[in-house]
Structure 1
Amino acid sequence: MTRAVPAVTRALDILELFLTGEALSAPDICGRSGLPRTTVHELLHTLLDRDFLATAPERPNHYRLGVRVFQLGGVFAGQLDLARDGQPIAAAVAARCAETVHLAVLDGVEVVYVVRIESTQPVRMVSSVGRRLPAHCTAVGKVLLAELAPAELDLRYRRRKLTAMTPRSITTLAALKKETARIREAELATEFCESNEAVACVAAPVRDHQGETVAAMSISVPITRWNAARSTELAAIVRDGARQLSGRLGFAIKGT
């Protein structure tokens, strides 16, 4: 198990003291956290500099949560709305194709599944909400990585090995960049046995009111039910589902 970083743990301990909504002074924080005065002042300076804390104008020498915490909370709330709004649309997509439908978001270099609607077929893939997978091995992940600027993609994979989940997984950054460039142009990703040797997937981007890609929707199919005609059919269905969810999130499609 990876060891926790003490400085980060202490900073988070300080932030959690503000969950009561109370403005706190440095002595308050020292007393409640048990941390040395010098450590508290160093961490306060860093948290203030990064806008995770702010001075409380109504109380001199006291602090309150800063705007960055609000922004992070807004992102989290947006993800909750995404799951809530995505559930019925994903269910409708699953009803159309009788296959497993997922909605996933990107977290670093992993995807996190926030919605899953299971196939009604006797043979189906096994998955779960909250599951994480390497983004480069999945159709949803490749859709989301395709939206990153090349410099951001380089940064996220700096000093990271692209681990294979199957013999078909992408294992080099050069190959990933080539694949994401193709996906960016097509606005569609496919995956054939890259994360599971028995499963193929097709995925499309979901955009919000600002036009930002916030999630990806996929349809997963056992390879026994996968062929060129089925791939084309499912691509149209997942694109339509992703378009509907984007509209629900406020994305205005050009020409409409």
Structure 2
Amino acid sequence: MSQVPAATRALRVLRFLAGQPDPVPLDRIMRACELPRSTTYHLLNAMIEEGFVVHLADEHRYGLGLAAFEIGSGYARQEPLQRLARRPLALLVDRVGHSAHLAVLHGREVLYVLEDRASGRPPLVTDVGVRLPAHLTASGRAILALLPSSQVRALYSTPADFVDRTGRGPRTLSGLRTVLSDARQRGYATENGEVTTGLASVAVAVLDHNQHPVAAVAVTYPEDAADGALAEAVAATAAQLTGRISGTR
């Protein structure tokens, strides 16, 4: 077996383990990764020696090891998504003349991780580090629209989960589902005065290699300055970022 196929198979196993809620038995890893038993066994032992996998002998199961956690922590420290998005976001602002930002989902909130403010435009509440209710923001809706319905239902299980800012926006799970369905059909999400009175936003999700929404690109503008070309420009930037992180559109 050459080095490249071996590395690919090992990464396939790690990706599968990372997507499981609990450690799993050998047979399940074999089936999911489409590998022979002997190959799976040898790969797991090699990854155990390097600390990427742990073997829970009493349970006859395998899970992620500390080295896998260190990889994830390193990713967070290096902020690759923000670095990759900085130039495309600046070009987007130059193109549309409005402020743009990049946000990620944290529970029922979106966290703004990058902002590029257009010259002469008023300050926004979307500074880096700010969190806002996901169901009210275009960024949050763009991400939520592409999540499994069961995950959305788990996030918004009680009326108290629907925080209000300006008196606008969905107040129930049914109302939110309608908003998200509209966003999926259009290919982009919007909000109008639901975060800040007088301002509106349009957003499109950035997808990873599994077509999972990992972030959203958005542009915020005065409500009376709506322009159909804005959604097209935001979508183009989101597609560029999707490609940059080896995703698919």
Q: Which runs of 5+ in 1 are unaligned?
A: 1-51, 58-64
- One-letter amino acid of the counterpart of residue 97, structure 2: A
- One-letter amino acid of the counterpart of residue 236, structure 1: E
Runs of 4+ in 1 over 3 A off after TM superposition: 52-57
Task: Give 1:149's aligned residue.
Answer: 148
Distance 2:150 2:109 in 1: 18
Identity %: 31
In the alignment of these two chains, the number of paired residues is 192
Q: Are 2:248 and 1:249 aligned?
A: no
Helix, strand or coil at the partner of 2:161: coil
Helix, strand or coil at the partner of 1:103: strand
Task: Give 1:202's aligned residue.
Answer: 202
**Aligned pairs for 1:71-150 within 5 A:** 71=69, 73-74=71-72, 77=75, 80-150=79-149
Deviation at 1:122, TM superposition (A): 4.2
Residues 84 and 122 of structure 1: CA distance in aligned 2, closer, same or farther (over 3 Å):
closer
Maintained 8 Å contact 1:147/1:213: yes
Residues 149 and 223 of structure 1: CA distance in aligned 2, closer, same or farther (over 3 Å):
same
Name the larger-Rg structure: 1
Helix, strand or coil at the partner of 2:79: helix
Helix, strand or coil at the partner of 1:113: strand
Q: Are 2:179 and 1:179 aligned?
A: yes
Distance 1:71 1:109 in 2: 24
Maintained 8 Å contact 1:125/1:222: no
Q: Deviations over 1:54-106 (max 9, x none)?
A: 5899xxxxxxx952772585277168211110111111101111111010000
Output the TM-score relative to the length of structure 2. Answer: 0.69
Task: Give 1:238's aligned residue.
Answer: 234
Deviation at 1:154, TM superposition (A): 1.1
Residues 126 and 111 of structure 1: CA distance in aligned 2, closer, same or farther (over 3 Å):
closer
